[in-house]
Amino acid sequence: MESVRITGLSKSYGKVRALDSISLSVDKGELFGFIGPDGSGKTTLFRILTTLLLPDSGQATVEGFDTVKEYRQIRKIAGYMPGRFSLYQDLSVEENLKFFASIFKTTIQENYYLIRDIYSQIEPFKDRPAGKLSGGMKQKLALSCALIHKPAVLFLDEPTTGVDAVSRKEFWDMLARLKKEGITILVSTPYMDEAGRCDRVALIQQGKILGIDTPRGIVGAYKDKLLAVRSSGMYKLLFDVQEFPRTIRAYRSGEFIHCSVKDENAGDELRNFLAGKGHEMIEVRNISPDVEDCFLALMTNDRSFGTSPSGQATND
Amino acid sequence: MTNDHHIIEVENLVKKFGSFVANDHLNFYVKRGEIFGFLGANGAGKTTAIKILCGLWKPTSGRIQVAGFDVYKETEKIKRNIGYMSQKFSLYEDMTIAENFTFYGGIYGMRMPGIRKKMSFFLEKLGIVEYKDRVISDLPLGWKQKLAFSIAIMHDPAIVFLDEPTSGVDPLTRRQFWDMIYEAAHDGITVFLTTHYMDEAEYCERVSIMVDGRIEALGTPSEQKKQFGAESMEEVFIRLARKQ
């Protein structure tokens, strides 16, 4: 059963194509991630799905309702946490939550079980104005407000941007618990390492979808071999690895340089090549790519991937 | 007492807001030409410390020198010797690229010939010479970021402060941005930066991690991983920030 269906959706702002004929569908109860940088079209897509923006062409449905013609029905069953903090800064934590509950004709008590885990962490500050909360607490309050009417579908637009690594991890733990309640969750993020927490992800760049798959499927479609390289002179190493004739692509990744090559045995050759360039303490090993490696491969050329480069194949 | 190789020296930096201690006896130095990562959880006190180092806020107590100047008495000299770029772009969106260069160059006390020279140097390097009369708001995010960085170092500052400079950009632009950081450091500019990307922590020569107003760890990424028996800086970070 599908919860969200998007067919040939496009939206432009003047000359800028924010969404370029996007098609995909999200199953009921799925935790689906849109992974891409700022300006890739994630927010535009979420605003169309939450009925706040009209598409130029194409169509989208949420729980069977059309986002243009049946926006009223969607607004009742969707929860939305926008990227920018948009609660009432001068209302207290509790007043904000009560306000959202009453708009949806429910009460905090009725759906408290759904937000207990999250809200209990900020409840000690329930009389504090929302504007005076720390970043992490604002995020928890915004999520509580988006959940208080027990939505069928939850849209979270970059909930972890600018949030530190620890709070990000906790936030994803919360989403995993909400998924168990049967809520369909669509979440966007610029952090590639968060892809692994989703059932499926769409990699999105400049309004186009580069690929849609499970995190494992995305990584599995990487066709080249990947080497992690390290030496005593990291600044020079990047240039030298890029110069190695068999290198397809080389870039920094944490404490290593990642180097993609065609065949597995290039590692020994690379080691000799680098020794010849005067590098010491050379370490070269074969590694499996992560989602960021795949994203980079898809961005720079599609050659490393088996799937269609346009990524328009829908999973339905 | 001041060490010539240290471009930033911080001894017992304390900053209080009422009874709240935002910076609790910070002690560290930054070497000339170093890439120094200043990490910490949200609300750990990083921004407070950066504002003090940039001469914008006065500390409650402590001895702090930046580029050889005192943060209590010589804030104007500090401001002339540093560059600053934050996650929210410091460029004026409704002005052109050229106007931004001229404006900031003027603020930094540069003269027109020097400004023109720097502008053509950076625009050529970024390969966008023909776009100099474009308004900033029309440019892609990656360009804005690279331009903001170029402008932050156009007056050859001793130190450049980068506050989450790569937030939200694509992985390719993020790496191109780091190429620029390495180049600046190679040319002798000290780089002091904050980030939430833990792979970027690995790119720094030394890293400090703040938790609740204190520096809980300081050293090279490999020293810290060894000390905490961790595989990555992310693991080190999560272990430290979680223990409260």
How close B167 gets to chain A, by Cα (Å)?
7
> SS3 of A25, please?
strand
pLDDT of B28-65, one tens digit each?
Answer: 999 999 999 999 988 889 989 999 999 999 999 999 99
The CA-to-CA distance between both ends of chain A, in Å, stands at: 9
**What's the confidence (pLDDT) of residue A65?**
98
Model ipTM over 0.85: no
- φ/ψ of residue B214, rounded to 5: -120, 155
Residue B172 has its nearest CB partner, among A162, A163, A296, at A296
**What's the confidence (pLDDT) of residue A306?**
40
Chain B residues touching residue A192 (CB < 8 angstroms): 171
| Structure tokens that stand for B80 in this block | 């002339």
pLDDT of B6-36, one tens digit each?
Answer: 999 999 999 999 999 999 999 999 999 999 9
The CA-to-CA distance between both ends of chain B, in Å, stands at: 36
Q: Which of A161, A83, A186, A90 is nearest to A132 (CA)?
A: A90
CB pairs under 8 A between A and B: 82
* CB-based contact A134 B43, cutoff 8 Å: yes
Yes or no: say if A41 and A24 are a contact pair by the CB < 8 Å rule: no
* CB-based contact A169 B238, cutoff 8 Å: yes
Does residue B72 sit at the A interface (CB-CB below 8 Å)? no
The answer, yes or no, to whether residue B89 has pLDDT greater than 70, is no
Q: With bands split at pLDDT 50, 70 and 90, how would you rate the model's confidence at A163?
A: confident
How close A279 gets to chain B, by Cα (Å)?
18
Chain A residues touching residue B166 (CB < 8 angstroms): none
**What kind and span of H or E run contains A274?**
helix A266-276
> SS3 of A239, please?
helix
Burial class (CB in 10 A: 0-12, 13-18, 19+), B36: buried
pLDDT of B184-225, one tens digit each?
Answer: 998 999 999 999 888 899 999 999 999 999 999 999 999 999
Residue B42 has its nearest CB partner, among A39, A136, A191, at A136
Angle in degrees, CA A84, A85, A87, rounded to 5 = 140
Strand order in the sheet with B69-70: B20-31, B6-17, B61-66, B69-70
Segment among A30-39, A218-227, B161-170 with least mean pLDDT: B161-170
| Structure tokens that stand for B114 in this block | 């020097």
> SS3 of A285, please?
strand
CA A310 to chain centroid: 19
Yes or no: say if B113 and B157 are a contact pair by the CB < 8 Å rule: no
The answer, yes or no, to whether residue B244 has pLDDT greater than 60, is no
* CB-based contact B171 A292, cutoff 8 Å: yes
Q: Domain coordinates of chain B in residue numbers?
A: 91-156
How close A142 gets to chain B, by Cα (Å)?
17
Q: What residues contact residue B82 under an 8 Å CB cut-off, 6+ apart?
A: B54, B55, B66, B67, B157, B158, B159, B160, B161
* CB-based contact B42 A254, cutoff 8 Å: no
Chain A residues touching residue B172 (CB < 8 angstroms): 251, 296, 299-300
List, in order of start, the domains of chain A with CATH numbers: 2-219 (3.40.50.300), 223-288 (3.30.70.920)
Q: Which of A245, A239, A293, A296 is nearest to A269 (CA)?
A: A245
pLDDT of A112-141, one tens digit each?
Answer: 999 998 899 899 999 999 998 877 788 899
CA distance A261 to A248: 6
Q: Which of B170, B197, B210 to mutate to test the interface with A (most CBs of A within 10 A)?
A: B170
pLDDT of B92-135, one tens digit each?
Answer: 999 999 999 999 999 989 999 999 999 999 999 999 999 999 99
How are beta strands A256-261 and A225-230 bridged, if at all?
antiparallel
* CB-based contact B87 A162, cutoff 8 Å: yes
**What's the confidence (pLDDT) of residue A301?**
63
CA B96 to chain centroid: 24
**What's the confidence (pLDDT) of residue B2?**
61
**What's the confidence (pLDDT) of residue A112?**
93
